[in-house]
Amino acid sequence: MERRTLIVLLGGTAAMMVAMGIGRFAFTPILPMMMDHHLFSAAGAGYLASSNYLGYLIGAFVLTLVQVKSRSMLLFAGLIVCIATTWGMGQFHSLEAWLVLRFLSGLASAIVFVITSSIVLDRLTAFQAGILYGGVGAGILLTGLSVPLLARNGGWIEIWKGLGLISLIIGMAAWYSLRDRHTVTKMLSSPHDHDHHPSAVRRVLICLMIAYGLEGLGYIVTGTYLVAFAKSVSNIPNIASLSWILVGIAAMPSCVGWSMLASRWGNKWALTVSMLLQSIGIAIPVLIPSSTGVLAGAILFGVTFMGITMLSVAFAKDLYPQNNRKIIGLLTTFFGLGQIIGPLIAGLLISGNGSYLTALIGAAFIVFLGALSLPLGIGRTDRQLEQAK
C-alpha cells in the first residue's frame, strides 16, 4: 500500500471513530447511567435518539442537493461539531439542551460519514474499505472501555467530557491526514452511465434503499437499548459496558470479512445473509433473557451492523461509480429516515408496557423483511448488470 493511501485510510478510520463510534454511539453505554439518575424516561431516551437521527437524516439529505466546493473544510466543520456536542452533553443539564446537542451531533455525523466515505473510497480497494468502516467498531470499543474507566473518577458528566477530549485528539489527527486531499467534488455521473440497463439500475437502487431503510429502522432499536436491556436481565457487574465492548470487538474486523464474502457471493447475497444474521442477533436476547443471550446478541449485532453499511455503500457505488457522494447521501437519507422512526416507536412501547420484548422482536422482524426484500426485489437483475459491464 502506498504511503499516501495508508495515511488517507488511517485518517478516514479515525474520522469514523469520532463521528460514528463516539459521536453517535457513545450515548448507548451512557444511557443506563443517565436513566438511573432519572434524567429522563425510556420515552425520553427515544426522543433523544430520534433527535440525533433526525439530524443525521437532514445532514445526509442536504449532501444530495448541495454542490460541495471543499470537502476538506466541510469535513473539518463536521468533526468540530461532533467533538463540541460530545463535550456539551456533560456541560448542559436539561432535556431541551440535550435534544439540540443530539440533533447537531447527528447532522455532523452524517456529514463526516458521507464526506469521509467520498474522499477515502476514491483511493481504496474493497478490502481496504473494510478497514475504513472498521473504524466505527474501533470507536465503539473505545467508548465501551472508556465509560467504566471514566466512571471511576466521576459520573455521567465526566464521561461525556472525557469522551469529548478523546474525540478532540483523534479528530484533529483525522483531519490532518485527510485535509486538502481530493477537495473538489467529482462531476455528476454522465448521462451515458449504465445506458445498458438504466431501468435495471434504478430497480436495484430502489430495492437497496428499501432494504437499507428497513435496516435503519430495525437495527437502531438494538443500537439504542441494548445495554439498558442487558442491565435488566443480568447480574454480571458492568454487563452494560461488557456487551458494548463485545459489539465493538466484533465490528472492527467484520467489514473486512464481509467484503471478502461479497467478492465471492456478490453484494446482494452478502447483504441478505448479514441482515438475516442481524435479525437473529436482535431477537436472541429477548428469546433467551440471560447473560448468554445478551452477549451472543451483542456479538451478532457487532459482526453485522457495520458490514451492512459497508456492503450497501459499496453496492450503490458500483451502480453509480461517478457520482458516489450524492448516491451515498441518498442511501444514507433512507437509512436515517428509518432511524428516526425506530427509537420513537420503541421508546413508546417500552414505556407503555415496561418491557423490551415487543420493541426488540419487532425490530428483528423489520430487519428480516429488509433481508428478504433484496433477493425478492432485485431477482437476477444485479447479475445481468454484472454481465453487461
Calpha distance 76→93 (Å, rounded): 27
Calculated CA dihedral for residues 273, 265, 325, 310, nearest 10 degrees: 40
Q: Decide if pLDDT at 214 tops 90.
A: yes
Residue 384: predicted pLDDT: 56
pLDDT tens string 320-340: 777 667 788 888 888 888 888
What is the domain count for the chain?
A: 1
Span 241-269, mean pLDDT? Answer: 89
Residue 195: predicted pLDDT: 46
Span 146-173, mean pLDDT? Answer: 92
Residue 386: predicted pLDDT: 55
> 201-205, 250-254, 367-371: which range is least confident on average?
201-205
Residue 167: predicted pLDDT: 96
Calpha distance 173→180 (Å, rounded): 14
Residue 175: predicted pLDDT: 92
Q: Decide if pLDDT at 314 tops 90.
A: no
| Residue 346 structural domain | 3-186+193-388
Q: Decide if pLDDT at 21 tops 70.
A: yes
Residue 194: predicted pLDDT: 45
Residue 341: predicted pLDDT: 84
Angle between helices 42-65 and 324-353 (to 10 degrees): 170
Span 308-314, mean pLDDT? Answer: 90
Of 334, 312, 332, 325, the closest CA to residue 378 belongs to 312
Residue 81: predicted pLDDT: 97
Answer yes or no: are the C-beta atoms of 171 and 15 closer than 8 Å. yes
Chain mean pLDDT for the chain: 84
Residue 332: predicted pLDDT: 85
Q: Decide if pLDDT at 305 tops 80.
A: yes
% of the chain beyond a pLDDT of 70 = 91
Q: The CATH number of the domain where 178 resides is what? A: 1.20.1250.20
pLDDT tens string 41-54: 877 887 888 899 89
Residue 315: predicted pLDDT: 87
Calpha distance 57→314 (Å, rounded): 20
Span 262-268, mean pLDDT? Answer: 89
In the structure, what pLDDT confidence band is assigned to residue 212 with cuts at 50, 70 and 90? very high
Residue 388: predicted pLDDT: 52
Q: Decide if pLDDT at 350 tops 80.
A: no
Most confident stretch, 92-96, 120-124, 276-280: 276-280
Residue 323: predicted pLDDT: 64
Calculated CA dihedral for residues 15, 21, 24, 28, nearest 10 degrees: -170
> 20-34, 76-90, 191-205: which range is least confident on average?
191-205
Per the model's pLDDT, the better-predicted residue between 9 and 381 turns out to be: 9
In the structure, what pLDDT confidence band is assigned to residue 196 with cuts at 50, 70 and 90? very low
SS3 389: coil
Span 86-101, mean pLDDT? Answer: 95
